[in-house]
Chain A
Amino acid sequence: MSRNRFYIIIGALLVLSYLATHFVDNQYYFFAGFAILQLMVMALAWNILGGYVGYVNFGSAAFFGLGAYSAIVALNLFDASLFAQIITGGCFAALIGFGTGYLTLRLRGVYFAIATLALLVVSETLIVNWEFVGGAAGTYVLPKKNPTILGVLVVGKQNALFDNYKELLFFLMCLIALATIIICSLVENSKLGRGLAALRDSEEAAESMGVPTLRLKLFATTLSASIMGVTGGIFPYYMTFIDPLSAFNLDISVNALAMPLIGGTATWLGPVLGAVVLGTLQQIATVTISSEVNLLIVGLFLVAFVIFAPSGFLGLIEKYWKRGD
């Protein structure tokens, strides 16, 4: 598809999501939609490093949680606005991502994976012990009443862009998701993307051809981490209550990893697909079957897909489409 068509569709989706916030009354859909979009962005971000470069990040939850908690620090210290919180989250996570990458990316991928796991444990321990952000007991975030941007009322009962915060946050999440898709698409189609692909296929060969592998890996790590941090930065406003257990939960890491694997890691379409499929299933399971069966679904899906559909959903589709030709 041409670049123009791509951007037009993105734009249309954005407009659609804004209209949805006006015409859909049922708030539950915004909750569920937000959750699925969050999974999508995390999966896309993970895939930048996992799919494009081939380095496995176990500790996605660390970047997410640090993004969320740096937003809280900004709130507590400077009374930061929602946008400032999001940006803080992204920047801080980028910093941590860069640091972790710098320390460990010169080694085999498996060491990076372990380091990210270690990062997760260290981050959670630090936050649990830090009273300023509430420690283990968590902390509340009270959204501002009637916020305005450039004189336009953003959230309010009348004449505002959005009726309530959930709709605003849903729209923002759509924006972030679409922006991330654009970023991923740009990376894939650029010289950078080709360099990453070369790196993934054989790091030694790429290096011997003059590809600056360390620099590329660092870039991918930092980009991936900062997107995860942005997703984390918006989280406190959405939840209004946040504690280390939910911010650094292992399921964030697992989902970020599972969705690209199930959807396909080659392009941005895979994580999107994986997030929509698995995320929707999880949402349905949470509110219908409930209880431990939810976990079982994720487990079975992972195992089944990884065994029978190694290139993910997309790989399956391509296979069958080719057959039909």
Chain B
Amino acid sequence: MKSLKLSVFRSLVATFAVVTFALIGSEVPAKEPIKIGFSMALTGGLAGGGKQALVAMEMWRDDINSKGGILGRPVQLKYYDDQTNAKNVPGIYAKLLDVDKVDFVVSGYGTNLIAPALPVVIQRELVFMGLFGMNNNKKWKYDKYFQIMPSGPDPAVGFSKAWFDTVMQLKPTPKSIAFVAADAEFAKNLKKGAVTNAKRLGLKITYNKNFKPGTPDFTPIIRAVNATNPDLFFVASYPPGSAGMTRAVSEVGTKVRGFGGGMVGLQFSGIMKGLGPKLNGVLNYDFYVPEPNMNIYPGVKSLLKRYQKVASARKVDPLGFYLAPWAYAYVQVLGDAINAVGKIDHAAIAKYIHATEFTTVVGKVKFGSNGEWAKERTIAVQWQNIKKKNDLQQFTQPGIRKIMAPAAFATGKIKPFNALR
């Protein structure tokens, strides 16, 4: 029986190996189109953003192809689902580069999905555009990495700068602050940067804890924070936590005058709609909102209109405010840079991107030496005037998310949290 097993074993493995690698290897790389490869979170925790980004990137591909493509060749996007699992990323990029023979690569969405790709691209000395990663380049100091989230040269700190600038305008000046963050990469990094900002401003920290991602009820946290009597409450959370905290603070109430900070997910349509008027008074970070002063983002309105037309058919976020403009921009920068340089030369392209101020769908983009934005442009917005429950359309109008900072964009003045509820 053992010999039977062995021969079966041998032939099966051999057959499988041959068939499989023949299948994979048999893709003949086409010479004509320019291929841009990437992994993207299409399932798993970050898929809400990943799918949004993909729609926007495909829109860019169609746009640039209608203008003649890159270097006169049509652009083809090649992507695979990383399932929001860092483990899948290196293999995906290896396949893209070695088997699919893509000409350029860009990143997936999120710090922990960008990180595993970096060693692969650094080894091959390729230009790499990053989509919403925080401090991925800190350790490597790679000169060909560029990141599109406008958090500035010191991302964790720059991210919350606008928020702090805003709350310090409250009268009387706040003296104390409480911090809460979800036990997840982005939220914790954000909180670290915010703590730095708070210390710089001399604020007293009365509470500083993390919560587990699956927490169903946040009222104990709100109560615990209230018991320490802070003037401000900075929350760094992912969508479930952001929704939960907002609801909890609605139920329990609070005396803090500034609430919010780094709550991811408040910009997602399902959550905006579900929370409705509970969002009034929350002061949060954002990148783009439909307010009048955002005219430095010239193409965004039309981009979002196009996006929204296809959104429901593609089962993605109906409004697309959060990620779509930036996903479009990060490939737009790459495309424009390649066209400007005139050939596929990664070193030259990287140099060009470092040296140039791009005009993109999100306005003027300039990168600093570490690949992050030279100057931060995270805005702080305060939710005001939300009147209807369960209505998504009201969020497409100006006057709901009033911009507080930076001053150049401001469309409103900060009001204390409870004054708006």
In the complex they form, whether A and B have CB atoms below 8 Å apart is answered with: yes
Within 8 A of A (CB), among B103-140: 111-112, 115-116, 118-119, 123, 139
Interface size range of chain A in the complex: 35 or more
Q: Which of A137, A164, A284 contacts B185 (CB 8 A)?
A: A137
Q: Which of B3, B8, B20, B94 contacts A27 (CB 8 A)?
A: B94
Chain A contacts of B111 at CB under 8 A? 137
Within 8 A of A (CB), among B186-229: 187-189, 210, 212
For this complex, 20 residue pairs linking A to B, each with C-beta atoms less than 8 Å apart, are A1-B5, A9-B6, A26-B99, A28-B98, A142-B139, A166-B94, A239-B87, A240-B119, A241-B86, A241-B118, A245-B85, A245-B112, A276-B16, A277-B16, A280-B20, A283-B91, A286-B92, A287-B92, A287-B95, A290-B81
Q: Report the Cα distance A29→B99, complex, angstroms.
A: 9
Within 8 A of A (CB), among B1-42: 2-6, 8-9, 12-13, 16, 20-21, 23-25, 42
Question: A204: CB under 8 A from chain B?
Answer: no
Given contacts A287-B24, A287-B95, A135 and B115 within 8 Å (CB-CB): no
Q: Is the CB of B95 within 8 A of A28?
A: yes
Q: Please name 6 further chain A to chain B contacts, defined as beta carbons within 8 Å, in addition to the given A138-B115, A317-B8, sorted by A numbering.
A: A1-B2, A29-B21, A129-B210, A137-B189, A283-B91, A291-B42
Question: B339: CB under 8 A from chain A?
Answer: no
Question: A146: CB under 8 A from chain B?
Answer: no
Taking the nearest CB of chain A, how far is it from the CB of B4, in angstroms? 6
Q: Which of B5, B119, B188, B189 contacts A241 (CB 8 A)?
A: B119
Q: Report the Cα distance A267→B1, complex, angstroms.
A: 12
The 3 closest A-B pairs by CB, nearest first: A137-B185, A246-B86, A28-B98
Given contacts A138-B115, A140-B115, A291-B42, A269 and B183 within 8 Å (CB-CB): no
Given contacts A136-B183, A137-B185, A251 and B85 within 8 Å (CB-CB): yes
Write the A292-305 contact mask toward B (1 if CB under 8 angstroms, else 0): 10110000000000
Interface residues of chain B: helix, strand, loop or mixed (majority): helix
Question: A249: CB under 8 A from chain B?
Answer: yes
Within 8 A of A (CB), among B129-188: 139, 183-185, 187-188
Q: Is the CB of A269 within 8 A of B5?
A: yes
Given contacts A246-B85, A292-B43, A35 and B91 within 8 Å (CB-CB): yes
Q: Is the CB of B112 within 8 A of A137?
A: yes
Q: Which residue of chain A has the shortest Cβ distance to B182 in the bound complex?
A: A136
Q: Report the Cα distance A243→B115, complex, angstroms.
A: 10
Question: B90: CB under 8 A from chain A?
Answer: yes
Q: Report the Cα distance A290→B80, complex, angstroms.
A: 6
Chain A contacts of B188 at CB under 8 A? 135-137
Taking the nearest CB of chain A, how far is it from the CB of B187, in angstroms? 8
Taking the nearest CB of chain A, how far is it from the CB of B139, in angstroms? 5
Chain B contacts of A269 at CB under 8 A? 5, 9
Question: B83: CB under 8 A from chain A?
Answer: yes
Question: B88: CB under 8 A from chain A?
Answer: yes
